[in-house]
Amino acid sequence: MGDEIEKVPILRLTEEGRNSIEDIVVREYPITIILNNEELVTMLCSPQDMDYLAVGFLFSEGLLESKDEIKNVLVDEKRGIVRVDTYEEKEVNNEFLFKRMITSGCGRGASFYRAADAKKRVKIESGTEISTHEVLLLMKEFQHRSEVFRETGGVHSAALCDTKNILVFKEDIGRHNAIDKIFGECVMKDIPTEGRIVVTSGRISSEILLKVARRDIPIIISKSAPTDLGVRLADELGITLFGFVRGKRINAYTNFWRIKGNGSR
Amino acid sequence: MGDEIEKVPILRLTEEGRNSIEDIVVREYPITIILNNEELVTMLCSPQDMDYLAVGFLFSEGLLESKDEIKNVLVDEKRGIVRVDTYEEKEVNNEFLFKRMITSGCGRGASFYRAADAKKRVKIESGTEISTHEVLLLMKEFQHRSEVFRETGGVHSAALCDTKNILVFKEDIGRHNAIDKIFGECVMKDIPTEGRIVVTSGRISSEILLKVARRDIPIIISKSAPTDLGVRLADELGITLFGFVRGKRINAYTNFWRIKGNGSR
């Protein structure tokens, strides 16, 4: 927690008056990812697990395929730099890099949501099933874990789960970053992702969907709303999408056959 | 509204059972911005006011400085393309473009939050003042206007206001886009922004702060949290920052001297 938040003096205003108090805000920290001495990107993140963020990002962007390619990962926290070196040289074509980088992050990019790109992906066939009760319990546990959010209201959370438990949990000011941190840790620690479940606090857009599909995740659960493209891709890629999981209600959008006790469609 | 949402069949699940119903989700639409025949960027947005989004984006990125530079703006809705042509050729250096694009959007980029960059900006001296009551009323009116959010929970809103009224209001799946749409309309319709107020539903990060500073806005009001960098930049740039405006309470973070009836600091 320590480094993710900062205390600031504020005025608390109401119609009745004002109070000088101290409040906490979430930190926003620039890190630069350097792959084999090439400066790839600088992004704003929460300054925790920056090694996992860098590795997860490189996998999401298709620049790494296996942990075995990685020679070392060095984090220079002070200067905000993560260096990832691979055994073999990586051809990072500038044109490609340019395109891909814009793609990532906040909804920029041409390639990801093109039908052709989604079509190239193999449909996820995992037989993992989950019940309404299990979805509600996972979300309850997930929200219980979101400490920084409770304190600052300023971060997103993501978790890798099985149907009963949270296995990996991360928070970050960026909803994409929180998911990259999860997958980065999975890569570094050889935690399998296939057949498992991702829970997220953030909106499920097409990019989040494709990030998750890339790790063979059959079920995604969100506290928030999906977009139309998120729903369409989940449908096509064989992913079961749950949104608006709040209180005792769930919206199921796609691939209902994974819902235990609710029959098939 | 029409184009911004789409109906989808869903299963509404509770512990008691399930219902097949129809629900609406927000649309996520890819548009490509072409400046003088050069393809600059493709981004995901809500398919409304794409001309304003393109113009606002180009201003935010520093690629346009004045409306007089613009020869025409053509929106091809079907193909998701906005063409902006200027009278004079624009030198869009690839290196620069690469850097800047990563910078924009979702918190990627080196230049924006560097102290040097913020220091180059002139401190905003505008004498606009606002009372607690006025902030609360503006937020109430703002939330009343957020139709798509109420229906789908999937968009951000932003507004340009004076101390009494909302002057321009936009919604978009991206919090950056909503603000670019506001400023794009201001540029195209010669609506002055200096001395006025921006209200946003989204988190106030360093990038949002710099976007707003670029338009000489002295006051920013958010329903959500600021980041530490957002607070620091608001302080340095002379912007009064209100966050967590919810119910009858407000957090004031910086430049308290613009708060009417609350004295100075």
Tell me which chain A residue has its CA closest to the CA of residue B96: A98
pLDDT of residue A41: 82
CB < 8 Å to B54, chain A: none
Q: Is A15 on the interface with B (CB under 8 A)?
A: yes
Q: pLDDT for A109-127, tens place per residue?
A: 333 344 445 556 789 999 9
Give the homologous superfamily in CATH for domain B132-258: Cytidine Deaminase, domain 2 (3.40.140.10)
Say which residue, A98 or A23, is predicted with more confidence: A23
* 8 Å CB contact of A28 and B153: no
Mean pLDDT calculated for residue range A13-21: 94
Q: What's residue A44's pLDDT?
A: 87
* Per-residue pLDDT tens listing for chain B (265 residues): 457 889 999 999 999 999 999 999 999 998 899 999 988 888 889 999 999 999 999 998 888 999 999 999 999 998 999 999 999 988 775 554 554 443 333 333 333 344 445 556 789 999 999 999 999 999 999 999 987 777 777 889 999 999 999 999 999 998 899 999 999 999 999 999 999 999 999 999 998 999 999 999 999 999 999 999 999 999 999 999 999 999 899 999 999 999 998 543 3
Contacts of B122 (CB under 8 A, 6+ apart): none
User: What is residue A111's predicted lDDT score, i.e. its pLDDT?
Assistant: 36
The contacts of residue A147 (CB under 8 Å, 6+ apart) are: A1, A171
Return the closest-CA partner of residue A204 out of B31, B152, B170. Answer: B152
Q: Which amino acid is at B239?
A: I
Chain B interface test: which of A5, A12, A95, A102 (most B C-beta within 10 Å): A102
Residue A265: its pLDDT value, please?
Answer: 37
Contact of B154 with A224, CB cutoff 8 Å:
yes
Q: What is the pLDDT of residue B94?
A: 57
Per-residue confidence (pLDDT) for residue B50, from 0 to 100:
96
> What average pLDDT does the structure give for chain A?
87
Lowest mean pLDDT among A27-36, A80-89, B84-93: B84-93
More confident residue, A218 or A5: A218
**CA distances (Å), A109 to each of A104, B74, B96, in order?**
7, 20, 17
Query: The domain at A29-113 falls in which architecture?
Result: Roll (3.10)
- Identify the pLDDT of residue A62: 85
Closest alpha carbon to B205 in B229, B221, B223? B229
Whether residue B32 lies within 8 A of chain A, CB to CB, comes out as yes
Task: Report the pLDDT value the prediction gives residue A146, as an integer from 0 to 100.
Answer: 86
- A45 sits in the region (left: phi over 0; alpha: psi -120 to 50; else beta) called beta
The pLDDT value given to residue A10: 96
Subunit contact A132:B174, Cβ cutoff 8 A = no
* pLDDT score, position B152: 75
The shortest C-alpha distance from B167 to chain A (Å) reads 24
Tally A–B CB contacts below 8 A.
223
Residues whose CB falls within 8 Å of the CB of residue A116, separated by 6 or more in sequence, listed in order = none
Q: Is the pLDDT of residue A140 over 80?
A: yes
ipTM: 0.83
Domains A29-113 and A132-258 alike in fold: no
Cα distances from B1 to residues B47, B146, B147, B150, in angstroms, run 10, 11, 8, 12
pLDDT at B103: 36
Instruction: Answer yes or no: are the C-beta atoms of A105 and B107 closer than 8 Å.
Output: yes
Confidence (pLDDT) at B184: 97
pLDDT at A101: 40
* Beta-carbon separation of B231 and A8 below 8 A: yes
- pLDDT tens-place string over residues A199-223: 999 999 998 999 999 999 999 999 9
CA nearest B203 in A: which residue?
A154
Give the C-alpha separation, B148 to B234, whole Å: 29
Which pLDDT value is given to residue B126? 95
Let me know the angle formed at the C-alpha of B201 by B195 and B206, rounded to the nearest 5 degrees.
65
The predicted pLDDT at position B89 comes to: 87
- Per-residue pLDDT band for A21 (boundaries 50, 70, 90) equals very high
What tokens does A113 get?
A: 């949501």
Amino acid B261: pLDDT: 82
Q: Active-site residue numbers of A?
A: 106
List the 178-217 stretch of B: residues with Cβ below 8 A of A.
203, 205-207
Per domain, the residue ranges of chain B are: 29-115, 132-258
Percentage of residues in chain A having pLDDT higher than 90: 70
Nearest to B94 by CA among B162, B39, B155: B39
Q: Which residues contact B211 (CB under 8 A, 6 or more apart)?
A: B60, B176, B179, B180, B183
* Residue type at position B1: M
Cα–Cα distance, B76 to A141 (Å, whole number): 46
Tell me, yes or no, if B14 comes closer than 8 A to chain A by beta carbon.
yes
Whether pLDDT at A65 is above 70: yes
B42 interaction partners in chain A (CB closer than 8 Å)? 102-103, 108-110
Other Cβ atoms within 10 Å of A35 Cβ, number: 22
Handedness of CA B200, B201, B206, B208 (dihedral sign): negative
How many whole angstroms separate alpha carbon A173 and alpha carbon B205?
9
Asked if A249 has any chain B CB less than 8 Å from its own CB, the reply is: yes
Quick one: pLDDT at residue A105? 35
pLDDT score at A110: 34
CATH architecture of B29-115: Roll (3.10)
> Lowest-pLDDT range, A1-15, A155-169, B8-22, B75-89?
A1-15
Question: Measured between alpha carbons, how far is B173 from B3 in angstroms, rounded to an integer?
Answer: 13
Residue-level pLDDT at B119: 56
User: What is the rounded average pLDDT of the residues A30-55?
Assistant: 91
